[in-house]
């Protein structure tokens, strides 16, 4: 399986604890990120490292291919959206206006770490 190809990362401030390889979104304050937990959350990137709480500096992948943790089976080329805990899942046909972080570069099973090409987009399979 192809690994990461990190083109652009940026340091943000965490608004809460954030695990490594999860989808994040902006918090209410500028330059602050929190874990995205729903397929309608607007993702900004994927965490490159973990932090234990709010106020810590954290590196976030913004452009490129980054490792992401799967929360279920994902087929290569599926749109990837956030679910509980910021893990990635395949977009579904039951929710309108889903916010994808990107596209799965490999087929994976639950709890696998997989390469995700960040191509943020809104889509509607419903």
Q: What is the pLDDT of residues 16-37, one digit of tens each?
A: 999 999 999 999 999 999 999 9
Question: Which tops the pLDDT comparison, 5 or 83?
Answer: 83
| pLDDT value of position 122 | 86
pTM flag (> 0.75): yes
| pLDDT value of position 94 | 73
Q: Which domain holds residue 11?
A: 1-126
Summarised one tens digit per residue, pLDDT across range 49-87 is: 999 999 999 999 999 999 999 999 999 999 999 999 999
pLDDT band at 97 (very low <50, low <70, confident <90, very high): confident
Count up the domains in the chain and report the number: 1
**In the block, residue with structure tokens 């099973």:** 109
**Separation of alpha carbons 115 and 41, rounded Å:** 20
Tell me how far CA of residue 14 lies from CA of 8, 9, 44, 104, 105, in angstroms.
18, 15, 13, 25, 27
| pLDDT value of position 5 | 84
Query: Which CATH number characterizes residue 24's domain?
Result: 2.40.300
């Amino acid at each position: 399986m192809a690994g990461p190809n990190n083109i652009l990362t940026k340091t943000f401030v965490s608004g809460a604890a954030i695990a490594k390889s999860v989808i994040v979104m902006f918090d209410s304050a500028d330059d602050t990120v929190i874990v995205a937990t729903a397929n309608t959350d607007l993702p900004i990137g994927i965490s490159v490292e973990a932090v234990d709480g709010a106020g810590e500096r954290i590196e976030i992948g913004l452009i490129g291919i980054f490792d992401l943790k799967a929360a279920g089976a994902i087929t290569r080329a599926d749109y990837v959206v956030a679910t509980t805990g910021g893990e990635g899942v395949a977009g579904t046909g039951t929710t309108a206006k889903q916010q994808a972080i990107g596209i799965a570069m490999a087929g994976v099973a639950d709890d696998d770490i997989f390469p995700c090409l960040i191509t943020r987009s809104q889509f509607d399979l419903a």
